[in-house]
Amino acid sequence: MRNLMFVLGFAGLASVGFSTSAVGAGQNEVDARHLNKIGIEVLSTAPGEIDGYVRAVTNQGMFYVSDDGTRLISGNVFDITGKEPVNLSETAMANVRLKMLEGFTDDMIVYPAENEKYEVTIFTDTTCGYCQRLHQNMSSYHAEGITIKYLAFPRGGMSSKGARQLQTVWCADDKKAAIAAFKDEESFSGSSNCSNPVAEHYQLGKSFGVTGTPAIILPDGRMVPGALPASRLVAEIKKGESQ
């Protein structure tokens, strides 16, 4: 099972080590014993923006962890030396997201724009009203040249109605018909008892810091929440291109 082990292929990131007391190597090593006790598993580490802390991508998102593993900081670090603050944490996490997404390309449900200019990946839940609205407005995104690629994120967890529906979607021969039916709150006859990637998508989203749906991963790896109208989504994409 792939799970999140694909992160091992990212140059510059340290090894995954759930069962060991320390994760990383050299200057990036962090003692993970205390983190493991509170349910946080370190997937990778990299040099942090705070002296004495490493930046850790975990099963619960990104944190800054002291070298000895006894202190944890949740939040973003900004460079405020320029004209506008720069979110260093989001910039670093954006690169991680893009690399990790490469291992899930074959799992996505893709709605391609005929005249494609951009691609975005969206963590979606069939029971989410905003996700339903976004899907119903698919033509407006296509008109702007935006290809939509779905991954599953059952916001209520893997025991929720959304998880069961999403598993049924990814088990279906016609995934687009299944996801459209559920998002229109119509019945769909299908089974959720197959080998499907929904749990892996869910864990990937949690490691990205997804807490609700829809969560949109932009082409530069930044993540924006909510069902942004097509024009606003294009503006966000262009903002990344100009930076």
Residues marked active site are found at 125, 128, 131, 155
* Beta-bridge partners for 16: none
DSSP string across 55-86: EEEETTEEEEEETTS--EE-S--EE-SSSS-E
Give CA angle at 2 (182, 23), nearest 5°: 125
Q: Collapsing DSSP states into helix, strand and coil, what is residue 205?
A: helix
Contacts of 213 (CB under 8 A, 6+ apart): 123, 124, 125, 128, 130, 131, 153, 155
8 Å CB contact between 85 and 76: no
Q: Collapsing DSSP states into helix, strand and coil, what is residue 181?
A: helix
For tokens 């802390």, name the residue.
53
Q: Collapsing DSSP states into helix, strand and coil, what is residue 225?
A: strand
Distance CA 218, CA 236 (A): 8
Distance CA 22, CA 39 (A): 15
